[in-house]
Amino acid sequence: MDERRNPIQRLAHQLSRLPGIGEKTASRLAFHIIKMPEAYVRDLAQALLDVKTQVRHCSRCCNLTAVDPCVLCSDTRRRNDLLCVVERPSDIVAIERGRDFRGRYHVLHGALSPLDGIGPNDLKIPELLRRLADDAVKEVIMATDPDVEGDATALYLARLIRPLGIKVTRLAHGIPVGSELEYVDHATIQKALDNRREL
Amino acid sequence: MDERRNPIQRLAHQLSRLPGIGEKTASRLAFHIIKMPEAYVRDLAQALLDVKTQVRHCSRCCNLTAVDPCVLCSDTRRRNDLLCVVERPSDIVAIERGRDFRGRYHVLHGALSPLDGIGPNDLKIPELLRRLADDAVKEVIMATDPDVEGDATALYLARLIRPLGIKVTRLAHGIPVGSELEYVDHATIQKALDNRREL
């Protein structure tokens, strides 16, 4: 079948370029989409175009948003003295799932990585420092990833922020809730031992 | 975050309605799509609309196609005396991956299932019989699924087609190539024993 002439193969090919979707899954999705209501397919196509045309960075927190400032920055019920710094917009979604954190966010859009040529000015660090100068922030929680780059970024920022008289904290490392010790990696167990608390 | 106002959440919601894509995968895909080139996202959106507006059934083989007759029916290098009957258009894609079969196809769009109220007239069986009356078909290969409905459909069609003087065959059952015997289900092993061949 000629891929250029066949809309099904063309759709499958486009879908297979998405992460985690192989050729067979893409083909199955394409055949499924043909059978779905036309209204749904139109909505999906429109949603795809909308994210590219409407979504931009929030001028305050650098999160992805369609309105500026974003709903999290303009929510008056959130605390202004607590700021959570994350690497990616999707990290905010993960934290918001918990519904416990009621402070503000700042998205760095990456982590420091000298080997990849990513320095402070490639991240939203100038925006963060400008915010801390203006804002009433009393504590910054570093929620960057628990890997080499995330840890280095947290340490780098802590050194810049502490002199401003702002407390800097880091998300705790330890055994995930609900996990079985047997399957937890040794680096996590070591962190959990180091950070053990008296009962 | 308000789902209606946020294009990212809206896209994730639409994606999560696809089969095999849960909420977390949909969210990851949405964030990935924002970072992809706009040209790709436009092509994907267009491909989605195209399958709904351009794809219809081939008037000969009932396969999904954008041109009528479809490329398989209009391919003059294929044999006209050999016809492979399948349940779904995606089955043709699976068989064509092998590049060994050079005959024609007919898509039933389902299998007989009295419990679900699916009888011969709900499938493309009248179209198949009309084709066999006109065409130069000498052998019909029943490639319906190896389950109760697929087997029943194959037997039902065999009884209709044999009186026309046309040979009817069924795909062989047996151990899949490259599989480990240990992990093959007992029904397949039984079929493989029943159909054993002398070396």
The reply to whether residue B71 touches residue A33, judged by beta carbons under 8 angstroms, is no
| B12, closest residue in chain A (CA to CA) | A47
The DSSP 8-state label assigned to residue A118 in this structure reads B
ipTM of this complex prediction, to 2 decimal places: 0.77
Preferred mutation among A2, A17, A18 to probe B, highest tally of B CBs within 10 A: A18
Q: How far apart are CA A82 and CA A103, in angstroms?
A: 5
pTM equals 0.75
Q: In tens digits, what is the pLDDT along chain B, a chain of 199 residues?
A: 444 568 999 999 999 999 999 988 999 999 999 999 999 999 999 999 999 999 999 999 999 999 999 999 999 999 999 999 999 998 998 888 877 889 999 999 999 999 999 999 999 999 999 999 877 899 999 999 988 999 999 999 999 999 999 999 988 888 888 878 788 888 888 887 888 777 6
Q: Could you say which architecture CATH assigns to the domain B7-54?
A: Orthogonal Bundle (1.10)
Q: What CATH number belongs to B78-170? A: 3.40.1360.10
Pairing relationship of beta strands B56-57 and B64-65 according to DSSP bridges: antiparallel
Q: Token pair for residue B198?
A: 């002398």
CATH 3.40.1360.10 domain locations along chain B? 78-170
CATH 1.10.8.420 domain locations along chain A? 7-54
Measure B75 CA to nearest chain A CA, in Å. Answer: 10
Q: Which residues of A touch B41 (CB under 8 A)?
A: 48-49, 51-52
| B66, closest residue in chain A (CA to CA) | A6
- Which among A104, A101, A89 is positioned nearest to A56, based on CA atoms? A89
The reply to whether residue B48 touches residue A28, judged by beta carbons under 8 angstroms, is no
Q: How far apart are CA A36 and CA A101, in angstroms?
A: 39
Q: How far apart are CA B125 and CA B109, in angstroms?
A: 9
Q: Which residues are CB-neighbours of B192 under 8 A, at least 6 positions away? A: B173, B174, B175, B184
Q: 10 Å Cβ neighbour count for B25?
A: 18
| B36, closest residue in chain A (CA to CA) | A52
Measure B66 CA to nearest chain A CA, in Å. Answer: 6
The DSSP 8-state label assigned to residue B118 in this structure reads B
